[in-house]
Amino acid sequence: MRGYLAHLRVERGLSQNTLAAYLRDLSRYAGFLRGRGITGPGGVAEEDVSAFSQAIRTGEDGGRPLAASSAARAVTAVRGWHRFLLDEGTTPTDPSAAVRPPQVGRRLPKALSVEEVRALLEAAAVDDSPVSLRDRALLEILYATGARISEAVGLVVDDLDAGSGVLRLFGKGRKERIVPVGQYAWAALDAYLVRGRPALASKGRGVPEVFLNTLGRPLSRQTAWSVLQRAAARAGLGGQPTGQAPAAPDGVIGGDGGARADRHISPHTLRHSFATHLLAGGADVRVVQEMLGHASVTTTQIYTKVTVDHLREVYATSHPRAH
């Protein structure tokens, strides 16, 4: 399994987050196989793979029951490992070939309205402190570019090109893309870089990341999630209560302060809103695909269903013979 994960990292260029998820899934699979008395990949049969697929949904293997999406990822990891063993000549057959991952229902993303996004962004900063300037700049960038949270916290200063009004993002598999940034986001980012980041950086050892925590270290995804939750609560959109402080210092692992308890607003909500608002404004789906960093336009087309609903609503309330 370590060899397979190394293959995914080197040959396929999968992100550290995906590799960590695959490691958890394969470790659980290995434990499941040991529980059935199987000590090597050659002893695995199709019924073992099928039983694992069912066990992770119910928790019968002693682990936490997984939702369909997480179970599908786990089965995909298992199938990939068995294919790898077959390709390497380690096993003569692939016992997972006929086992299909659980079907995952495609739910339409819940985008915020333009007014809700405006309220959220305005609530990000409570004063002119370095942390408030950082929080406003972070949320402005998330909405202005449709960046994933890992892409935003991974930004380094050299990725910014204020002269051209663009920045460089590195998506899944370190795939690079260039995304334009609007004036509101640039203004917030410039204010943070001039008046906020130097104060935070002075407490650390000089890292290149754009967004820093109060210790001068790169901002973690957990803390970035907390930033959004607190802003959402102040804007009346749900999230972490305004007066609830994080359980650990800003930037320390585990310091999201329970912000995950209410997932109504997440960093991906701003990504959904970015795509939906662009399409509703007439942007071409291929352009939105490029800015989101989707490998296939099929993934992007889910947002067109949201805008069709909006068009239908406008038609029903505006056309004299809509009823």
* 151-165 per-position pLDDT tens digit: 999 999 999 998 888
> Please, are residues 5 and 23 in contact by the beta-carbon 8 Å criterion?
yes
* 271-312 per-position pLDDT tens digit: 889 988 888 888 888 888 888 888 777 777 777 776 777 677
Phi, psi of 71 (to 5 degrees): -65, -40
pTM: 0.65
Instruction: Give 319's Cβ-side CA count (13 Å radius).
Output: 9
Average pLDDT for residues 205-215, to the nearest whole number? 94
| Region of 236 on the Ramachandran plot (φ > 0 left; ψ -120 to 50 alpha; else beta) | left
Reduced to 3 states, what is the DSSP secondary structure of residue 248? coil
**What's the Cα-to-Cα distance from 124 to each of 134, 151, 222, 230, 242, rounded to whole Å?**
9, 19, 16, 8, 11
Report how far residue 299's alpha carbon sits from residue 32's, in angstroms, rounded to the nearest whole number: 33
Report how far residue 18's alpha carbon sits from residue 239's, in angstroms, rounded to the nearest whole number: 26
Please give the torsion angle defined by the CA atoms of residues 117, 263, 273 and 221, in that order, rounded to the nearest 10 degrees: 90
DSSP H/E element including 23: helix 16-35
* 8-44 per-position pLDDT tens digit: 888 877 778 889 999 999 999 999 999 999 989 999 9
Reduced to 3 states, what is the DSSP secondary structure of residue 247? coil
Residue type, 279: L
Could you give all domains of the chain from N- to C-terminal order, each with its CATH number?
2-87 (1.10.150.130), 114-271 (1.10.443.10)
**Cα diameter, the chain:** 71
Q: Which two tokens stand for residue 146?
A: 């449709």
By annotation, the residues acting in catalysis are 148, 172, 268, 271, 294, 303
Q: Which two tokens stand for residue 90?
A: 């380690």
